Structure 1
Amino acid sequence: MARTAQPAALKLIKGRGEGKDTAGRPVNLGPAFKRVPPNPPSWLSAEAKAEWKRVVPGLSRLDLLKPEDRAALAAYCEAWATFVEATRTVQAEGQVIEARQGKLAHPCVGIARAAGREMRSWAAHFGLTPSTEQALARGADDGDEDDNPFG
């Protein structure tokens, strides 16, 4: 899987010191976007709106959001909503269905799987994956990485 470039704020949180990334290189802060959370689109589904309300406060505290992130964040939230709906359908109806050809995987199994992949992809852009959480926790210390044999 290809690595996605991280926002400067994430690099700095995980970095070694003032303005440095984990390798000690200076972090290019990029354009000076106004760092305020975007407003959610009015057309978000109820589940997507709930996810938006859940993740935006944390991302805002880290200065990761700007109004221009609205589309990407909406795509993440709707992927979550699709994942939830498909998973609930599978829970209610089972993982297999009866068809003329015999037993087949319920279509919502594939829908949930695809939505999960899409959701993880978008989540990585915002630092919402478990591996990013661990990297952020490691970067929250004093920046001393004496245990790193490559440092």
Structure 2
Amino acid sequence: MARAAAPASLKLINGRSAGRDSGGRKVETGPAFKRVPPQAPTWLSKEAAEEWDRVIPELSRLDLIKEQDRAALAAYCEAWATFVSATRVVQEEGLVIEARQGKLAHPCVAIARNAGREMRSWAAHFGLTPSTEQALARGGGDDGDEANPFAGSG
């Protein structure tokens, strides 16, 4: 999975000085979006709405979200809801089903697996997994800064 570039606010949290990241590189702040958390869509499923309510406070506190992130966050929350729903079905009905062809993997196994992948992909954009949280805290990788002596060497 490719790492998402860290938002400027995350790069600056552990910066060496004002306007610099932890490596001392200048942080370009990018467009000055108004950092107001989006309102939850009214059509979110119950499970997705609960996940929305769980993650919004911390993302907002860190200034990582804006109104324009609403769709991406909704997709993450609904992927979570699908994962939970499919996992519950597998817990109730088992990993396999009886079919004319014999025993087959329960369809919800694949649904949960796919929803989990989608959820992790969206979660990475918000630093919601341990590895992406650490990547964002470190600055998220090569930002193309010419002042970096290791950039572009090869």
Q: Select between 23-32 and 5-14 the one with higher mean Cα deviation.
A: 5-14
Alignment of 1:15-26 (within 5 A): 15-26=15-26
Unaligned runs of 5+ in 1: 140-149
- State the Cα distance separating 1:85 from its structure 2 match: 0.2
1:107 maps to which residue? 107
Unaligned runs of 5+ in 2: 140-149
Alignment of 1:8-87 (within 5 A): 8-87=8-87
1: distance between equivalents of 2:19 and 2:113?
39
The alignment's TM-score, normalised by the length of structure 2, stands at 0.84
3-state SS in 2 of match to 1:97 = strand
Number of residues paired by the alignment?
140
From the superposition, tell whether residues 134 and 113 of structure 1 become closer, same or farther in structure 2 (CA, over 3 Å).
same
Bigger RCO of structures 1 and 2 (CA < 8 A, at least 6 apart): 2
Q: Runs of 4 or more off by more than 4 Å in structure 1?
A: 134-139
1: distance between equivalents of 2:14 and 2:83?
30
1: distance between equivalents of 2:36 and 2:89?
36
The sequence identity of aligned pairs, in percent, is 79
Deviations 1:5-47 (CA, angstroms, capped at 9, x unpaired):
1211222224333222232211111100100100010100000
| Root mean square deviation, CA, Å | 1.9
